[in-house]
Chain A
Amino acid sequence: MPLYLPIAELSMNIFLVIGMGAVVGFLSGMFGVGGGFLMTPLLIFVGVPPAVAVATESNEITAASVSGALAHWRRQGVDVKMGMVLIAGGAVGSFIGAQVFTYLRSLGQVDLMISLAYVLFLGSVGGLMFWESVRAIIRQRKGIVPKPTPREDRHKAWIHALPLKMRFRKSRLYISALLPLGIGMFVGVLAAIMGVGGGFVMVPAMIYLLGMPTNVVVGTSLFQIIFVTALTTIFHSVNTQTVDIFLAVLLLFGAVVGAQVGARMGLRLKAEQLRALLALMVLLVCVKMGFDLVVEPTELFSVGEAGSH
Chain B
Amino acid sequence: MKSLLTILATMALLLSGGSAYALVTDLSNKRIEIRYSFNGADLILFGAVGSSAVDPVNDDFDVVIVVRGPEAETVVRQKNKVGPIWVNTDNLSFPSAPGYYAVAASRSLADIASDAVFASYGIGFDHLPILARTSRGLAAPEPEFRAALFRLQASRDLYRQERDDVTHVGEGLFKTDIRLPANVPVGEFLVETFIFKDGGIIARNRIPLTVDKEGFERAAYDFAHGYPFWYGITAVLVALSAGWLAGVLGKK
A interface, CB within 8 angstroms of B: 2-4, 6-7, 9-11, 59-60, 62-68, 70-71, 108-109, 111-112, 226, 230, 233-239, 241, 243, 245-246, 248-249, 252, 256, 259-260, 293-297, 299-307
Interface centre among A237, A239, A256 (most CB of B within 10 A): A237
Do B40 and A245 touch (CB < 8 A)?
no
Chain B contact residue count (CB 8 A cutoff) = 60
Instruction: Give chain B nearest CB distance to A63 CB in angstroms.
Output: 4
A–B Cβ pairs within 8 angstroms, 24 of them: A2-B39, A2-B182, A4-B217, A10-B183, A11-B39, A66-B243, A66-B247, A67-B246, A233-B236, A234-B233, A241-B231, A245-B238, A293-B86, A294-B84, A294-B85, A294-B86, A295-B86, A296-B81, A299-B152, A303-B77, A304-B75, A305-B75, A306-B75, A307-B73
Do A249 and B72 have beta carbons less than 8 Å apart?
A: no
Asked whether A60 lies within 8 Å of B239 as measured between CB atoms, the reply is: yes
Considering only residues 196-252 of chain B, those with a C-beta below 8 Å from chain A are 213, 216-218, 220-221, 224-225, 228-229, 231-236, 238-240, 242-244, 246-250
A305 and B77 contact, CB distance less than 8 A = no
- List the B side residues contacting A108 at CB < 8 Å: 75, 77, 88, 91
Q: What is the bound-complex CA distance between A246 and B217, given in angstroms? A: 10
- Chain B residue at smallest Cβ distance from A111: B88
Contact in complex: B243, A62 (CB < 8 Å): yes
| B213 close to A6 (CB less than 8 A) | yes
Query: Interface with A: B20-28, B30-38, B44-52, which one?
Result: B30-38
Are B243 and A67 in contact (CB-based, < 8 A)?
yes
B240 A63 Cβ-Cβ under 8 A: yes
List A contacts of B73 (CB < 8 A).
Answer: 305-307
A296 to B249, CA, bound (A): 47
In the complex, the answer to whether A306 meets B74 with C-beta atoms within 8 Å is yes
Report yes or no: A248 in contact with B235, Cβ–Cβ below 8 A. yes
Q: Is the CB of B240 within 8 A of A62?
A: yes
Complex CA–CA separation, A233 to B235 (angstroms): 7
- Check: B149 CB closer than 8 A to any chain A CB: yes
- Asked whether, in the complex, the Cβ of A238 is within 8 Å of the Cβ of B232, the reply is yes
Interfacial chain B residues near A306, Cβ < 8 Å: 72-75, 93
Residue picked from A4, A64, A112, A233, most chain B C-beta under 10 Å: A4
Contact B85 A293 (CB under 8 A): yes
- Indicate if the CB atoms of B39 and A237 lie closer than 8 Å: no
Contact B231 A237 (CB under 8 A): yes
20 A-B pairs besides A6-B224, A62-B243 with CB distance below 8 A are A7-B221, A9-B183, A11-B40, A60-B239, A63-B246, A66-B239, A67-B246, A68-B247, A233-B232, A234-B229, A237-B232, A241-B228, A246-B220, A295-B86, A296-B81, A301-B79, A302-B76, A305-B74, A306-B74, A306-B75
